[in-house]
């Protein structure tokens, strides 16, 4: 059975002018695209199946990511259904010169595993075997319910 920490992934994108809005910050659509991509990778790593986005919970844009910053996106599966996986997603702005990082965006996406016929297919059970995994799962469950 896959463990929560097996699904933990992160990726970085350099925010360039073509990613920016007129305020020279990352356009929200790009941030959502990056979140969706890394979230799907986390879900696929967990389920070992192709996955599609089924639902996006509220998206909280807390602060901008500036042109020249790195957009760091973090994802992990924290809860499952029969064919679905809930993935916590957080975006950070990271200054590549100083390594300073601050959270900018948070959301919770639901992905569904699909088979070769593009039909929903069952996912394995999720295990949480470490204290770090338990803390991540607890934080995700609290945040999903508006506790963060």
Ordered structural domains, the chain, with CATH: 4-144 (3.10.129.10)
Nearest 5°: CA angle at 43, between 128 and 122? 85
The full 3-state SS of 40-105, as one line of letters, equals HHHHHHHHCCEEEEEEECCCEECCCCECCCEEEEEEEEEEECCCEEEEEEEEEEECCCCCCEEEEE
pLDDT the model gives residue 118: 97
pLDDT the model gives residue 1: 85
Instruction: Please report, for the chain, how many H helices and E strands are present, in that order.
Output: 2, 6
Q: Mean pLDDT of all residues in the chain?
A: 95
Q: Is the pLDDT of residue 148 over 80?
A: no
When pLDDT is averaged across residues 64-82 and rounded to a whole number, the result is 97
For the question of whether the overall pTM of this predicted structure is more than 0.75, the answer is: yes
Q: Is the pLDDT of residue 93 over 50?
A: yes
pLDDT the model gives residue 123: 98
Instruction: Give the integer Cα–Cα distance in Å for 103 and 56.
Output: 19
Strands 50-56 and 70-80: what pairing?
unpaired
Asked if 107 contacts 74 with a C-beta cutoff of 8 angstroms, the reply is: no
């Amino acid at each position: 059975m896959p463990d929560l920490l097996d699904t933990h992934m992160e990726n970085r994108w350099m925010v360039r002018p073509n990613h920016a809005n007129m305020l020279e910050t990352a356009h929200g659509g790009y941030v959502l695209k990056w979140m969706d991509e890394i979230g799907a990778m986390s879900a696929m790593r967990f389920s070992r199946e192709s996955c599609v986005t089924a639902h996006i919970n509220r998206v909280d844009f807390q602060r901008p990511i500036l042109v020249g910053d790195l957009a760091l996106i973090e994802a992990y599966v924290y809860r499952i259904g029969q064919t679905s996986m809930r993935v916590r997603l957080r975006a950070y702005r990271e200054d590549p010169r100083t390594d300073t990082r601050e959270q900018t965006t948070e959301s919770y996406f639901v992905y569904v595993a699909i088979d070769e016929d593009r039909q929903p297919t069952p996912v394995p059970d999720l295990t949480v075997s470490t204290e770090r995994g338990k803390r991540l799962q607890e934080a995700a469950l609290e945040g999903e319910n508006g506790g963060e």
